Chains A and B, each alone.
Chain A
Amino acid sequence: MTLAAAEAVTEPSRSREAKGRSIAWWGMAVLIATEAMIFATLLSSYVFVRAASKEWPLGHIEPPELGLIWFFTAILLGSSGPMFFAEHGIKKGNQARLRLGLALVSIMGASFLGFLVYEYHELEFGIRDNAYGSLFYAITGLHGAHVAGGLLMIGMLQIKAWLGRFSAERHETVAVIGMYWHFVDVVWIFVFSTLYLSVHVS
């Protein structure tokens, strides 16, 4: 197979009248379902341990602060906006919108991740201190790893976008990775509500 032919099939071509979702979309949807179960299991564990504890957080740890985290929550959730912007752009064949959208997503995602690292430095308890600390770091850490994984994938999209691999007809990868990014954002709503907000409501 020559390179030209290989390039031609690099991104699957979908007929415009295709009725259903692509294979890649289905694969990502099922993968997201199982990932969602991982978070559901961990958050349930958090609630389970908390329900059995006399005080929460354990060991006189202060509840997590609710200042800056609101701002970075807004940043992360807001990053779904440029993702939509990029997807809709490439659907119409607009390369500039795709590149701009992806760039904004990367910046917003990276700043959220940066804040997570900063917060870890500021926190006065460690992962070994008690079950509260273990759960807090495990859940926020796993979510952070998902943000990092998403950023890597978006970085790859970005490179492909600059190489002009996508077009109005061929952009399934953008839609599928976009779906993953939205998932990571939605999970944060649950993590934030359970680990930050609910601790202040006792």
Chain B
Amino acid sequence: MTLLEERPEAGEEAVETIWRDAPGLAGFFSTVDHKRIGMRYIYTAFVFFFVAGLQALVMRAQLTTAEADVVSPEVYNQLFTMHGTMMIFLFNTPVLAGFGNYILPLQLGTRDMAFPRLNAFSYWVFLLSGIFMISSLLIGKQPDGGWFAYVPLTEKAYSPGINMDFWGLGVAFAGISTTVGAVNFIVTTFKMRAPGMTVDRLPMFVWSILSMAFMVIFAVPAVTVASLLLEADRLFGTAFYNAEQGGSPLLYQHLFWFWGHPEVYILFVPATGMISMIIPVFARRPLAGYTWAAASLIAIGFISFGVWVHHMFATGLPALAMSFFSAASLIIAIPSGVLFFCWIATMWRGRVEWTTPMLFALGFMLIFLLGGITGVMVAVLPFDWQVHDSYFVVAHFHYVLNGAVVFPIFGALYFWLPKMTGRMLDERMGRWSFWTMFVGFNLAFFPMHILGFLGMPRRMYTYPGGLGWEALNVIITVGSAMFGLGTLLTVVAVVRSRTGGKPAGPNPWRADSLEWATASSPPPHYNFEAIPIVSGRHPLWEDEPVRDAESGDDSATRAYGPEGAVRRETPVTTGLDADPEETMTIPGETYVPFVLALGLAVIFVGLLVEATLVGIVGLVLAAAGLVTWGWRTEADLK
């Protein structure tokens, strides 16, 4: 570090210049700031959320009355396929990654993620894969083989159009983003923690992101393989799933659900992490049973890999195998129950303030309780056979994936957006939004349990009258419209807060974790001028105010003090005890991640339209990106 003297010493403005992105479009495409990337993740994911939500409302319009004619059966197939696909791949998964991106480095007390450029790359891949899939809507050829795309229906012979290719290629493309993001979360958690933040002091949200990231690492390869083999069958005429040529349609289901069930927990676990941050803050006491709750998050991560076959109970597998998976599906209720009791005990022993985030947390708990109970029910084989492919299953997974994931996400918006934008969201609007969503949700999804018992099958575009299904279907449609309206109220609250919201200040909720210890909301570019020293599990609730670390003069500690912020550096620490180890220079702005992601997108488009030339252009672009990236291993040459 020979030229340090030329750099500014401490003067505020000079430090700002080092961190600030280039103005306008240049900075937009080249930023590596985890906060900008995190916000983008959240906003982009919400765009997909509303598109997928609208698709659900069109489906409800079609199902409100018997033998309605709002959309054709073909369009209906496209709607339910893309509704599920977008909600899972383009909303739930990335929006949680967005919160992780923004909050995790702040909670760990560091100045960025471990791989800031990789972080930018994973956002660009997410955005481009989303555009890739949603472009099927624009040309009216959306995937139509169900969001899990079972073969043989989705093989070329039975789904000849381009529709399912959008799905098969898009899923593999989006998986790259999830995987790369998980690598980043794991390494950041292990190597970038503030001094004193030993593993037993990690915030619950960090535990949940860590558990989620490990599940991603081991589960996502299965869906990547499943979808790419499907595409190989479709595009190149291979025989992986073709029974006539010795392939196995059942193999597809195994591969898909080996990812598919952990995926439920990949979504649910970070949501519980959000809840575990919100409840203690508003109950004004530490989470009861911290160790048990953290252990439960890890246990869920492991057990989630032993339950996938419960999606295949109706495929005629050997009884012994099914009993094993049925048992595992029951066992996974135990760690979920432990978490639940931790939240109840926290509220019981605390004095609860009924703010909007807390309302969403409570709503989440009630809904998750029901979704959990129906989950145990469908884990029991004889019961599952009764309700298989009926609306009971639709009710169950919406209680889990909508209720127990979307409600925490909305709670987290009200909780953390003030940190991200510096302005509070309107509490009154928040309460309106919550109650509209909560009532609407239960009106929409509770009657589906009953419809399931009455025998209404899922995934059908209409039904005959006189079966006793009409009244319930009307209630469901009204409820879903109400739910949609409730989400819009939050949009209004967010938009209004950007201009007229009350200034949030650094810690509006008097919360405990380090993201609230930054000097301002939104935090400065460098997060912390000096890295905070952690002396307990709840740094901002200790008797002493948080102390700032000071820089030493060796390579392990030179970035702890304000000097680190001046030099665009951040400390790297040991895995378990967060002892100083070395110093990392945070790379500057770069277009390389965008170019690489764009190259990949062009490759996938080439495969989609089966144009070799386009594929080669993409390969060249991606290779150029990779080589440039590899060449500048640790710092950008400006």
Which A residues contact B (CB, under 8 angstroms)? 1-6, 8-15, 18-20, 22-23, 26-27, 30-31, 33-35, 37-38, 40-42, 45, 48-49, 52-53, 58-59, 127-135, 138, 153, 156, 173
Q: Which residue of B lies closest to A13 (CB)?
A: B555
| Contact with A26, one of B118, B191, B248, B627 (Cβ below 8 angstroms) | B191
Beyond A4-B2, A13-B582, A134-B238, 15 additional contacts (C-beta under 8 Å) are A14-B555, A20-B574, A23-B572, A26-B190, A27-B118, A30-B217, A40-B221, A49-B248, A128-B236, A128-B237, A129-B245, A130-B239, A134-B232, A138-B232, A156-B630
| Contact with A34, one of B217, B575, B634, B638 (Cβ below 8 angstroms) | B217
Q: Is the CB of A23 within 8 A of B584?
A: yes
User: Given the complex of chains A and B, what is the CA–CA distance between A15 and B556 in angstroms?
Assistant: 7
User: Given the complex of chains A and B, what is the CA–CA distance between A178 and B587 in angstroms?
Assistant: 24
Q: Closest CB-CB distance, B184 to chain A, in whole Å?
A: 8
Q: Closest CB-CB distance, B529 to chain A, in whole Å?
A: 21
Q: Closest CB-CB distance, B54 to chain A, in whole Å?
A: 34
User: Given the complex of chains A and B, what is the CA–CA distance between A12 and B114 in angstroms?
Assistant: 13
Q: Is the CB of A9 within 8 A of B634?
A: yes
Q: Which residue of B lies closest to A157 (CB)?
A: B630
Interface centre among A31, A131, A135, A138 (most CB of B within 10 A): A131
| Contact with B584, one of A10, A12, A38, A138 (Cβ below 8 angstroms) | A12
Q: Is the CB of A12 within 8 A of B634?
A: yes
User: Given the complex of chains A and B, what is the CA–CA distance between A20 and B580 in angstroms?
Assistant: 10
Q: Is the CB of A131 within 8 A of B574?
A: no
Q: Which residue of B lies closest to A55 (CB)?
A: B246
Q: Closest CB-CB distance, A127 to chain B, in whole Å?
A: 6
Majority SS at the chain A contact face? helix
Q: Is the CB of B248 within 8 A of A52?
A: yes
Given A2-B3, A14-B582, A20-B574, A128 and B239 touching (CB < 8 A)? yes
Q: Is the CB of A10 within 8 A of B115?
A: no
| Contact with A23, one of B3, B187, B217 (Cβ below 8 angstroms) | B187
Q: Is the CB of A134 within 8 A of B247?
A: yes
Q: Is the CB of B633 within 8 A of A10?
A: yes
Q: Which residue of A lies closest to B579 (CB)?
A: A19
- Top 5 A-B residue pairs of the complex, sorted by shortest distance between their CB atoms: A131-B246, A131-B247, A37-B221, A134-B238, A5-B3
Judged by a CB distance under 8 angstroms, whether B222 is at the interface is: yes
Q: B442-485, CB under 8 A of A: which get 1 and which 0?
A: 00000000000000000000000000000000000000000000
Q: Is the CB of A130 within 8 A of B246?
A: yes
| Contact with B251, one of A11, A35, A45, A58 (Cβ below 8 angstroms) | A45
Q: B510-553, CB under 8 A of A: which get 1 and which 0?
A: 00000000000000000000000000000000000000000000
Q: Is the CB of B251 within 8 A of A48?
A: yes
User: Given the complex of chains A and B, what is the CA–CA distance between A2 and B2 in angstroms?
Assistant: 11
User: Given the complex of chains A and B, what is the CA–CA distance between A131 and B247 in angstroms?
Assistant: 5
- Inside 8 A of A53's CB, which chain B residues have their CB? 246
- Inside 8 A of A132's CB, which chain B residues have their CB? 246
Tally of contact residues, B, Cβ under 8 A: 58
Q: Which residue of A lies closest to B254 (CB)?
A: A48
List B1-38 residues whose CB lies under 8 Å from chain A.
1-3
| Contact with B222, one of A18, A33, A41 (Cβ below 8 angstroms) | A41
Given A9-B585, A19-B574, A23-B114, A45 and B239 touching (CB < 8 A)? no
Q: Which residue of A lies closest to B240 (CB)?
A: A134
Q: Is the CB of A22 within 8 A of B582?
A: yes
User: Given the complex of chains A and B, what is the CA–CA distance between A12 and B556 in angstroms?
Assistant: 12
Q: Is the CB of A134 within 8 A of B239?
A: yes
Q: B552-582, CB under 8 A of A: which get 1 and which 0?
A: 0011100000000000000010110001011
Q: B76-108, CB under 8 A of A: which get 1 and which 0?
A: 000000000000000000000000000000000
Judged by a CB distance under 8 angstroms, whether B159 is at the interface is: no
Judged by a CB distance under 8 angstroms, whether B218 is at the interface is: yes
- Inside 8 A of B114's CB, which chain A residues have their CB? 23, 26-27
Interface centre among A2, A41, A42 (most CB of B within 10 A): A41
- Inside 8 A of A59's CB, which chain B residues have their CB? 246
Given A2-B3, A4-B2, A130-B245, A41 and B221 touching (CB < 8 A)? yes
Q: Is the CB of B238 within 8 A of A11?
A: no
- Inside 8 A of B225's CB, which chain A residues have their CB? 38, 41-42, 45
Q: Which residue of A lies closest to B238 (CB)?
A: A134
Q: Which residue of A lies closest to B584 (CB)?
A: A23
User: Given the complex of chains A and B, what is the CA–CA distance between A18 and B1 in angstroms?
Assistant: 19
Q: Is the CB of B581 within 8 A of A6?
A: no
Q: Is the CB of A135 within 8 A of B183?
A: no
Q: Is the CB of B238 within 8 A of A127?
A: yes
- Inside 8 A of B574's CB, which chain A residues have their CB? 19-20
Q: Closest CB-CB distance, B189 to chain A, in whole Å?
A: 10
Q: Closest CB-CB distance, B469 to chain A, in whole Å?
A: 40
Q: Which residue of A lies closest to B187 (CB)?
A: A26
- Inside 8 A of A128's CB, which chain B residues have their CB? 236-239
Q: Is the CB of B556 within 8 A of A18?
A: yes
Judged by a CB distance under 8 angstroms, whether B220 is at the interface is: yes
User: Given the complex of chains A and B, what is the CA–CA distance between A153 and B623 in angstroms?
Assistant: 12
- Inside 8 A of B236's CB, which chain A residues have their CB? 127-128
User: Given the complex of chains A and B, what is the CA–CA distance between A53 and B245 in angstroms?
Assistant: 11
Q: Is the CB of B634 within 8 A of A10?
A: yes
Judged by a CB distance under 8 angstroms, whether B355 is at the interface is: no
- Inside 8 A of B242's CB, which chain A residues have their CB? 131
Q: Which residue of B lies closest to A14 (CB)?
A: B582
User: Given the complex of chains A and B, what is the CA–CA distance between A19 and B632 in angstroms?
Assistant: 26
Q: 19 A-B pairs, CB-CB below 8 angstroms?
A: A3-B637, A4-B3, A9-B634, A10-B632, A13-B582, A20-B581, A27-B183, A30-B187, A34-B221, A37-B217, A37-B222, A38-B221, A38-B224, A40-B221, A41-B225, A41-B255, A49-B246, A134-B247, A156-B627
- Inside 8 A of B1's CB, which chain A residues have their CB? 5, 8-9
Q: Closest CB-CB distance, A177 to chain B, in whole Å?
A: 9
User: Given the complex of chains A and B, what is the CA–CA distance between A10 and B630 in angstroms?
Assistant: 11
Q: Closest CB-CB distance, B578 to chain A, in whole Å?
A: 11
Q: Is the CB of A173 within 8 A of B237?
A: no
User: Given the complex of chains A and B, what is the CA–CA distance between A59 and B489 in angstroms?
Assistant: 62
User: Given the complex of chains A and B, what is the CA–CA distance between A27 and B637 in angstroms?
Assistant: 22
